[in-house]
Amino acid sequence: MTTARLPWEFHPALTAERLAVCARLLVQARRDAVTLARAALGDDSWSIGCRAFAFGRERLRRAAEGRLYPWMRVLDGSHHFVFLIEDVPVRFYRGPADDAPERTLKRQEQEATQLRLALGREEAEGLAFRLAVETGPDGRASRIVFLALRGEDGLAECFWPVPLPETRATGPRAADQLSLMVEETAPLPRPRRRKPRVPERLPAPRAAGEAMSG
């Protein structure tokens, strides 16, 4: 399914490079959620999905607040989570891109207001920008699609799969290697240097035959 309009035709801020950055963060978040899952402890697709959403939200938030990308900001940090590409609000969800769930079509007032400011009232009417995270049988992200959905029926005016770099495993557990945001951004603690212990000075031995005074 394709449409004539591309993301940057809605707004020049929605470049391929910026969307690829956002998509990569969501792919990494999904990967980490799957890798950390423990079926023996009760993890299932629902718990993995909740964790993947939280991880994706946290990665985007840290990228924005850490000024890794000056064009990225957070508009709504709640469980609705809306982030900005320059002035354009975007949300993400897990599910098929060609059948967006009804809940993701709903816009919060803050999101709708921001979209009118970015695009103008007429262009923003009933419009929502979404990143759909599609997953494979292993639970990892298989495709990220940028969508421009219009109206209550979610008519797709843009359906653009985001190009992602291919990753190749270099070892039996290469796919399980984590690169969590804490590990990527937090500096390593500097080792504390201990002062050398100075031994106490002993009195010099008396010479043989030295007379004792007093």
pLDDT tens string 32-55: 999 999 999 998 999 999 999 999
Q: Is residue 155 part of a domain?
A: yes
Q: Is residue 191 part of a domain?
A: no
pLDDT band per the 50, 70, 90 thresholds, residue 178:
very low
Q: Is residue 196 part of a domain?
A: no
Q: Is residue 185 part of a domain?
A: no
Q: Is residue 104 part of a domain?
A: yes
Q: Is residue 177 part of a domain?
A: no
Q: Give the number of domains in the chain.
A: 1
Q: Is residue 213 part of a domain?
A: no
CB 132 within 8 A of CB 93: yes
Q: Is 196 left (phi over 0), alpha (psi -120 to 50) or beta?
A: beta
Q: Which structural domain range is residue 151 located in?
A: 7-164
CB 192 within 8 A of CB 41: no
Query: Residue 185: is its pLDDT beyond 70?
Result: no
Could you report the per-residue pLDDT of 127-176, keeping only the tens digit for each?
A: 999 999 999 999 999 999 999 999 988 899 999 999 987 654 433 333 33
- Residue 144 is inside which H or E element, if any? strand 141-150
Q: Is residue 176 part of a domain?
A: no
CB 65 within 8 A of CB 74: yes
- Residue 167 is inside which H or E element, if any? none
- What's the whole-model pTM score? 0.76
Could you report the per-residue pLDDT of 99-131, keeping only the tens digit for each?
A: 888 888 888 899 999 999 999 999 999 999 999
